[in-house]
C-alpha cells in the first residue's frame, strides 16, 4: 500500500495529500473548500480536543455554545475586525426554499428574504461580546473565562485538506477581565497551554512569539502565536492567543462597575486552535511509508498481528494475549488484536505502518513456543524480539520513548534549520536555496516587512518571546535594529 | 432566589422559561430563534454527550464530521426529504461582503453570488450519502457505522429555549448495511441505546414505539421513537431512529457488490437526539424551587457549605473535609467546597437548590465538634444529620438512591397519567379536562389521525413496541382496530 504514496522528494505537496486521503484521515466533499473528516482523522481530533479541553478546565475555563449566525451589523461594529473578515464570509440571505414553478427541483423562495443578512461565524468575538454585555455588570462578574468548541467558516479561495478549508473545527476562548494586566496574563497563559499541548502531545517543538502589527488578528492589540517548522522547512502557525484590549468591549459597550465604583470598559482576550493542527501533525513527523503518529494522539497505539496457519493457532495466540490486553486496557493503552484471516500479515504490516500505529506486535508459533514476541516501532522502524513475559511494561516504556523520540527528531530538525543571516544577499540566497527559518534583524517597520514579503514571499512569523536583545542592522533597509525576528515562507 | 421562579400551577410555560434563564442554563441571543447555551447548560450537554458517545462506541460506531453546507440540488434528490425540510432552511447565497459605497457598514457583494445556493444542514442524510457513494463498493465495506456530533439549523417559526430552536446541537448516526434485516436491527438497537440513556441517565421513563406514516421522518420507511411525559402531561419526543430503506442509496446511487457478485442498493438507518433533551430533563423533574437534576447528569453532584464565623473555623472545616474531597474525587463524584465568605449560608442553600445540586452537605462548629454533618437531598428536600465518619459511602449510596427515586417518581407520574378511553366522548373529555396520554383504538388511517389532530390538537405519539394485540373499535370512526395507540398533545 505504501507504494501508492508519492515520496516527499518527488512532490512534498502530493505526498501530503496522498497521506491524508490514503490513510483515511479525510476526504474531499462536493461542497467547495469543505472537507469530510473521516473516522480515523476525527479520532485524532477527539484526542486533541480531550487533551486541550482538560487543560482549559484545569486553568479555570468552562465551555459554552453561541449561535452559528452573526447579524451582519455586528461584524461592522469593530472596524478592523470587519475589514479582516468581510471578504471571506458565507452569507445567509433567505430562510426558505420552494418548489420551482417552472420545473423540477427547488428554488430559493424570494418571499423568504431576511431583513438583515446573517453571516456564518468566521470567529465569534462579536456575537459573544453582544452576550457579555448582558452578563457583565460588576467586577464580581469578572473574570469570565469561556471556551467554545465549534465549526467556523471562512471562504478561502485556495484550500488544502486540514491546512486551509472553508469550514473547519476549532475551539475559541473568549475571556473578559477587569484590568489589562490580567488580560495579558491570560493571553500569555493560554499561549503556554498551547505550547505545552504542541510539545507534549503533538511532539511538535514550537517557537512562542508575538506577531507584527501586519500579521495581527483583525481586532487585536497584540497577537501571540506558536510557530512550528514542517519537514519542508515551511512554517505553520499552530495556535494564536490575542490580547484584544478594550476594542470589543467598546464596540459592544460592555462596561463594569469597578471596586472603586467607577464604570469602565472590560478587557478581553481570545485564543484558538483548529483542525489545522492535524495537518501540522502529519507534515511534521510522517515519512514516505505513511503516518508517524505520536502515541499520545494516535487513535490506535498498539496492534497485535498473529501469524498463524489456522484457527487453532489463532485461538492459542489470542489466549496468550488475553492477560496482556487486559493489562493494556487497565493502563488506558489502546490496542487491536487483528484476527482478520482474509488478509496476510505482510499486508497488515504495511497497512498499520501507513496508518502510523506506534507499536506493532507480531507472534508466530515459533515465538509462541519460545515465549517471545516481535516488536516493531513505527518511528524508527526498528524491530526486535522481546520476551513475552513483561511485555506490557515494555510496551508502556516504549510508547513513552517513541513520544520523546518523535519530539526530539522534530526539534533537532527545526534547530538545525534556523539560519542566522546578516545581509540582504544572504537572505535572498537562503530563501532561494536554503530550507527553514531565517533569523534576521528587521527595522520594525511594516513597509520593510511588506517589501520583503513581496520580493521573497517570506513573512515575519514572529518576534520570539524572551528574545535576546542585540544591536544590529536590518537586513533589508540597513536601519538599526535591537533584535532578530523569525522569517519564513508559511502554510 | 427561588422566589423569582413562577410556580408551575400559575404558568407552566413561564416556570420553564424562568428555570432556564435564572439557573443559567441558556440565554436568548440577538439572532432570531437561536439560543446561547450557557456554561451550566453546556455542562449538562457534555455529560449527555459523553454518556451517549460511550454507548455509541461500545456498539461499534465511530465518529466523523461532514460539511455544514449542503448543495441545494442534493436536498431535492430524495422527494419526501426535500418536501419535509425545504420550508425551514437557512440558505447561503453569497460568499463575500463589501463596504457600502453609500455609507458606513458593509453590504453583501452582489458579485459574490454562488452559482448554486448552499443549505445550512437541517440534517445530513444527503451530504453523507453523497460521500458514502465513494466509500462503499463491496459487501466488505459494510456495515458502515458512523455518527456525527454537530450543529444543525431548521428555521422554525415558533421557538422555545432548548425545546425548539433554529439552531441546535445534536448527534446524528448514519449507517449503511447489506440487508434490510440488518438495517432494521440497527434501527432498533439504537432505539434501545436511547431508551437506556433516557432511563438510566436522565431518569426519564420512555415509551418505545413506531411513528405513524404521517409522523415519519421525511425520507424514512419506518420511524421509531421514544416518547416521554412531562409534568404537565404533554408528550415530548426524546429521540428517533429511522429505517431509511434504500431511499437515500437510490437517490445517491450507492450500490455494493454482494457476496454473490450482484450489484444492489445499500440499506440505511439514521438516528438522533439533540439539546432538546435538556428541555425534557428540566420539565420532567424540576419543581417550583428550581432544577432537580439526576446525579448522573448533574454538573455538580455535591456541594459542601461550611457555616462559620471566621477564617479559623473555615480552615478547620476545610481540613476536616480534605480526606472526604480526596475520596470523592477518586470515586469520580464532582463536588465543590463553597468557601465564599461574601454570601450567607441561607443564600447559598437557595442557590444550590435552584441549580438542582443533588446533595448538599452543611457543617457548623457544633457538627464539627460532634463529628456530624447535615445532609440535604435535593429531590425530596429531606434533611438529616449523619455521622461524619463514613460520609463518603453515605454520599455514594445517596446519589444512587436519588437517581432511582427521580426515575421512580417520574415513572409513577407517567403510569398514573395514561388513560384508556374507548369512546369519542371519553376522548374529548379527557383531552379537555384530563392530563397525560390517552391509550385508544385507532383505525389505522391517516385521515382519522388528521381529523383527531384537527379537532383536539392531540397526535398519535407512537404505536408502542410489543403492543398487546386486542380487538377493538376506533374511538373516532368506529372501524375495527387490533391495537391501542398513544395519543397526546406534544411539545
What is the secondary structure of A281-315 as a DSSP string?
HHHHH-BTTB----TTT-S--EEEEE--SSHHHHH
Q: What is the pLDDT of residues A383-416, one digit of tens each?
A: 999 999 999 999 999 999 999 999 999 999 999 9
Nearest to A153 by CA among A91, A108, A215, A95: A91
In this prediction, residue B3 has a pLDDT band, given cuts at 50, 70 and 90, of low
What does DSSP assign to residue B6? P
Residue B1 predicted with pLDDT over 70? no
Which pLDDT band, with edges at 50, 70 and 90, does A80 fall under? confident
The gap from C-alpha A266 to its chain's centroid, in whole angstroms, comes to 29
Quote the mean pLDDT of chain B. 96
Given a cut of 90, whether residue A105 has pLDDT beyond it is no
Reported CATH class of domain B2-69+120-285: alpha beta
- Helices and strands (H, E) in chain B, number of each type: 14, 27
- DSSP code of B62? E
User: Each residue of B408-462: pLDDT tens digit?
Assistant: 999 999 999 999 999 999 999 999 999 999 999 999 999 999 999 999 999 999 9
- Give how far the C-alpha of residue A217 lies from the chain's centroid of Cα atoms, to the nearest Å: 17
CA B142 from chain center: how many Å? 29
Predicted confidence (pLDDT) at residue A48 exceeds the cutoff of 90:
yes
Contact B155 A27 (CB under 8 A): no
B333 shares contact with chain A (CB less than 8 Å): no
**CA–CA separation, B373 vs B320, rounded Å?**
11
Dist CA A185 CA A193 (whole Å):
12
Chain B residue numbers with beta carbons less than 8 Å from the beta carbon of A105 are 72-73, 76
Q: Is the backbone of residue B444 left (phi > 0), alpha (psi -120 to 50) or beta?
A: left
| B158: contact with A, CB 8 A cutoff | no
Who contacts A422 (Cβ-Cβ below 8 Å, separation ≥6)? A440, A441, A472, A475
> Helix (H, G, I), strand (E, B), or coil: what is residue B12?
helix
Query: A418-488 architecture in CATH?
Result: 2-Layer Sandwich (3.30)
pLDDT of the residue at A1:
45
A131 C-beta neighbours (distance < 10 Å), count: 23
Place of cell 440571505: A93
Round to whole Å and give the CA distance between A184 and B179: 59
Distance CA A150, CA A273 (A): 11
| Cα of A295 vs its chain's centroid, Å | 17
Geometric angle at alpha carbon A54, from A48 and A59, rounded to 5°: 125
**Is B265 in contact with B221 (CB distance < 8 Å)?**
no
How many C-beta atoms surround the C-beta of residue A340 within 10 A?
Answer: 10
Per-residue pLDDT at B2 exceeds 70? no
Alpha-carbon distance values, A21 to A238, A385, B132, B145 (Å): 22, 33, 15, 19
**A99 contacts chain B (CB < 8 A):** yes
Return the domain boundaries, chain B.
Answer: 2-69+120-285, 302-398, 418-488
Q: For residue B175, is pLDDT > 60?
A: yes
Using an 8 Å Cβ cutoff, are A19 and A290 in contact? Answer: yes
User: What local confidence, expressed as pLDDT, does residue A407 receive?
Assistant: 98
The pLDDT confidence band at residue B157, using thresholds 50, 70 and 90, is confident
Are B145 and B57 in contact, with CB atoms under 8 Å apart? no
What whole-number distance in Å separates Cα of residue B25 and Cα of residue B479? 48
User: What residues form DSSP beta bridges with B383?
Assistant: B376
Question: What distances in angstroms separate CA B310 from CA B314, B317, B319, B321, one per listed residue?
Answer: 6, 11, 14, 17
Mean pLDDT, residues B212-239 taken together? 96
DSSP per position, A340-366: -TTS-HHHHHHHHHHTT-SEEEEE-HH
Q: Which residue has the higher pLDDT, A86 or B185?
A: B185
**CB nearest B42 (choices: A65, A134, A169):** A65
Q: Which three cell numbers stand for residue A258?
A: 469597578
Q: Which residues of chain B does A218 touch, with a Cβ-Cβ cutoff of 8 Å?
A: none
Helical residues (DSSP H) of B417-445, grouped into ranges: 424-433
Q: Which three cell numbers stand for residue A82?
A: 470587519
Nearest residue, CB atoms, B67 vs list A36, A71, A104: A36
* Residue with cell string 505545552: A196
Per CB-CB distance under 8 Å, the chain B contacts of A155 are 95-96
Asked if omega into B143 is within 30° of 0 (cis), the reply is yes
**pLDDT tens-digit series, residues B98-155:** 988 887 789 999 999 999 999 999 999 999 999 999 999 999 999 999 999 999 999 9
Query: Collapsing DSSP states into helix, strand and coil, what is residue B52?
Result: helix
The C-alpha atoms of residue A114 and residue B285 are separated, in whole angstroms, by: 38
Q: What percentage of chain A reaches a pLDDT higher than 90? A: 94
Task: Flag if B97 and A119 touch (Cβ within 8 Å).
Answer: yes
Name the closest residue on chain A to residue B94, using Cα atoms. Answer: A91
Alpha helices in A63-179 (DSSP H): 72-75, 79-85, 125-135
Which residues face B94 on adjacent strands? Answer: A91, B113
Whether A366 has a pLDDT exceeding 90, the answer reads yes
CB B20 within 8 A of CB B282: yes
B242-245 long-range CB contacts below 8 Å, 24 or more apart?
B242/B187, B242/B216, B242/B217, B242/B269, B242/B270, B242/B271, B243/B180, B243/B183, B243/B184, B243/B187, B243/B268, B243/B269, B244/B125, B244/B183, B244/B219, B244/B220, B244/B268, B244/B269, B244/B270, B245/B180, B245/B183, B245/B220, B245/B221
Q: What is the CA B388 to chain-centroid distance, rounded?
A: 38
CATH value of B302-398 in 3.30.70.20, 3.40.50.800, 3.30.930.10, 1.10.3210.10:
3.40.50.800
pLDDT at position A83: 87
pLDDT at B343 > cutoff 50: yes
Which residue from B minimizes the CA distance to A135?
B27
Give dist(CA B204, CA B424) in Å, integer. 30
CB A437 within 8 A of CB A469: no
Confidence band (pLDDT; 50, 70, 90) for A3? low
CB pairs under 8 A between A and B: 195
**For residue A109, what is the nearest residue in chain B, using CA coordinates?**
B87
pLDDT in tens, B356-390: 999 999 999 999 999 999 999 999 999 999 999 99
Does A95 contact B155 at a Cβ distance shorter than 8 Å? yes
Q: For the segment A162-209, what is each residue's pLDDT rounded down to a tens digit?
A: 999 999 999 999 999 999 999 999 999 999 999 999 999 999 999 999
CATH 3.30.930.10 fits A2-285, yes or no: yes
pLDDT at A309: 87
What part of B 62-81 touches A (C-beta under 8 Å)?
62-76
Q: What percent of chain A has pLDDT over 70?
A: 99
Query: Which residues on chain B are in Cβ contact (under 8 Å) with A93?
Result: 91-94, 108
- Beta-carbon count within 10 A of A192 CB: 16
Q: Average pLDDT, stretch B89-103?
A: 92
Burial class (CB in 10 A: 0-12, 13-18, 19+), A434: middle
Residue A386: CB atoms within 10 A of its CB come to 16
Amino acid at each position: 500500500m505504501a507504494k501508492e504514496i508519492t515520496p516527499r522528494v518527488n512532490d512534498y505537496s502530493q505526498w501530503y495529500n496522498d497521506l491524508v486521503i490514503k490513510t483515511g484521515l479525510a476526504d474531499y466533499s462536493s461542497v467547495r473548500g469543505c472537507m469530510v473528516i473521516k473516522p480515523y482523522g476525527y479520532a485524532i481530533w477527539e484526542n486533541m480536543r480531550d487533551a486541550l479541553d482538560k487543560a482549559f478546565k484545569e486553568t479555570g475555563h468552562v465551555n459554552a455554545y453561541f449561535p452559528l449566525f452573526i447579524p451582519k451589523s455586528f461584524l461592522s461594529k469593530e472596524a478592523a475586525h470587519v475589514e479582516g473578515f468581510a471578504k471571506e464570509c458565507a452569507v445567509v440571505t433567505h430562510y426558505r426554499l420552494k418548489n420551482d414553478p417552472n420545473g423540477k427541483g427547488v428554488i430559493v423562495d424570494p418571499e423568504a428574504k431576511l431583513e438583515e443578512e446573517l453571516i456564518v461565524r468566521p470567529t465569534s468575538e462579536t456575537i459573544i461580546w453582544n452576550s457579555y454585555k448582558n452578563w457583565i455588570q460588576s467586577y464580581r462578574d469578572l473574570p469570565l473565562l469561556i471556551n467554545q468548541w465549534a465549526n467556523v467558516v471562512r471562504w478561502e479561495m485556495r484550500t488544502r485538506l486540514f491546512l486551509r478549508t472553508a469550514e473547519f473545527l476549532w475551539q475559541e476562548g473568549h475571556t473578559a477581565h477587569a484590568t489589562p494586566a490580567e488580560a495579558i496574563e491570560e493571553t500569555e497563559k493560554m499561549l503556554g497551554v498551547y505550547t505545552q499541548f504542541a510539545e507534549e502531545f503533538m511532539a511538535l517543538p514550537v517557537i512562542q512569539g508575538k506577531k507584527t502589527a501586519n500579521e495581527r488578528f483583525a481586532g487585536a492589540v497584540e497577537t501571540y502565536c506558536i510557530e512550528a517548522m514542517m519537514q519542508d522547512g515551511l512554517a505553520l502557525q499552530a495556535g494564536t492567543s490575542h490580547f484584544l484590549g478594550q476594542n470589543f468591549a467598546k464596540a459592544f459597550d460592555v462596561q463594569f462597575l469597578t471596586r472603586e465604583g467607577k464604570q469602565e470598559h472590560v478587557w478581553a482576550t481570545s485564543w484558538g486552535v483548529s483542525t489545522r493542527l492535524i495537518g501540522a501533525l502529519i507534515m511534521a513527523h510522517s515519512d514516505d511509508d505513511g503516518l508517524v503518529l505520536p502515541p499520545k494522539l494516535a487513535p490506535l497505539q498498539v496492534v497485535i498481528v498473529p501469524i498463524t496457519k489456522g484457527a487453532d493457532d489463532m485461538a492459542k495466540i489470542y489466549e496468550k494475549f488475553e492477560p496482556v490486553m487486559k493489562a493494556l486496557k487497565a493502563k488506558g493503552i489502546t490496542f487491536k488484536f487483528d484476527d482478520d484471516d482474509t488478509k496476510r500479515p505482510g499486508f497488515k504490516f504495511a497497512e498499520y505502518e501507513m496508518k502510523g500505529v506506534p507499536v506493532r506486535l507480531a507472534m508466530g508459533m515459533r515465538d509462541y513456543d519460545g515465549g517471545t514476541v516481535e516488536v516493531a516501532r513505527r518511528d524508527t522502524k526498528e524491530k526486535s524480539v522481546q520476551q513475552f513475559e513483561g511485555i506490557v511494561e515494555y510496551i508502556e516504556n516504549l510508547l513513552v520513548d517513541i513520544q520523546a523520540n518523535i519530539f526530539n527528531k522534530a526539534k533537532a530538525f527545526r534547530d538545525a534549520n534556523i539560519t542566522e543571516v546578516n545581509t540582504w544577499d544572504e537572505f535572498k540566497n537562503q530563501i532561494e536555496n536554503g530550507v527553514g527559518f531565517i533569523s534576521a534583524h528587521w527595522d520594525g517597520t511594516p513597509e520593510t516587512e511588506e517589501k520583503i514579503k513581496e520580493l521573497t514571499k517570506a513573512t515575519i512569523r514572529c518576534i520570539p518571546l524572551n528574545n535576546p536583545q542585540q544591536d544590529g542592522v536590518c537586513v533589508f533597509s540597513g536601519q538599526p535594529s535591537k533584535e532578530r525576528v523569525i522569517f519564513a515562507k508559511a502554510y
